[in-house]
Amino acid sequence: MLCLFKMIPFGYSMKLQDTNTQYLNIHLNDLNSVAKDLIKRFEDTKIWLFEGEMGAGKTTLIRYLCDSIGIEDFVNSPTYNIINEYKILKKRHIPSINEAITDGFVVQTTSIKKNEKGDVRAPAFLEEIDKKNVIYDTIFTDFENDFKDDEYIYHFDLYRLDKAADLVDLDIFSYINSNNYCFFEWPSKLKLLNKEETSYTKILDNPTLLLDIDATSTDTRNISLIKQDMGK
């Protein structure tokens, strides 16, 4: 089912509202704020489709989205590579004593200190901790960081593809089904996979977010959203 949000004008004040179906008359300098709002609203949707004419700002918006998520690399257009891969920065989590004991991720023994909140810090951080804190003999790893698989953003530019075999050669579904973010510029080329089907969600067998970027002037854009879920 198409989830089409109510249209609300979106001006330079950048008052972000969850009921927007469109961001209207957005200055290019404000795309960063739009990207942050989009990630907040649609973080769990992994397939993003970006439509718009050449120069509409697809790559620029994707760059800001990647910045909002946090990546290790610089975003540029994959026009000639077809696909760019960006590694997502892991968010560090220092467990409390109770968290670490409960999860049982003990990695080594050394002198360690605990602050008033019960947070464990590795030796490299000892100089930042008040000497009055209690000394413990067990150090626990930043287990959420160490045991989590690497995550990526895959950025596609399908402009130069003109047949289904090109998409098959890319092994496109291995990316789509990886549960990583996939950002597609020129997504209409995905319809080469099934010319009888018009729904991107059915073609890709995944929920999708379609963003149509329209240049209203040299410096402003309208961005329309269509969120499509599975089986509804």
Any idea which fold 19-90+150-228 has?
Rossmann fold (3.40.50)
The residue count of the chain comes to 232
**Lowest-pLDDT choice from 11-20, 144-153, 164-173:** 11-20
Q: Where are the domains of the chain?
A: 19-90+150-228, 97-146
Residue 11 CB: number of other CB atoms within 10 A? 13
| Residue 23, H or E segment | strand 22-27
Residue 142 has pLDDT above 90, yes or no: no
Most confident of 4-18, 75-89, 187-201: 187-201
Residue 93 structure tokens: 């989590």
Task: Please tell me the predicted confidence (pLDDT) of residue 133.
Answer: 40
Torsion sign across C-alpha atoms 221, 2, 227, 19? positive
Q: Are 28 and 187 in contact (CB under 8 A)?
A: no
Q: pLDDT averaged over the chain? A: 75
Kindly report, residue by residue over 115-135, the tens digit of the pLDDT: 455 555 444 443 333 433 433
Residue 69 near residue 39 (C-beta atoms within 8 A): yes
Structure tokens at 25: 């008359």
Higher per-residue pLDDT: 72 or 30? 30
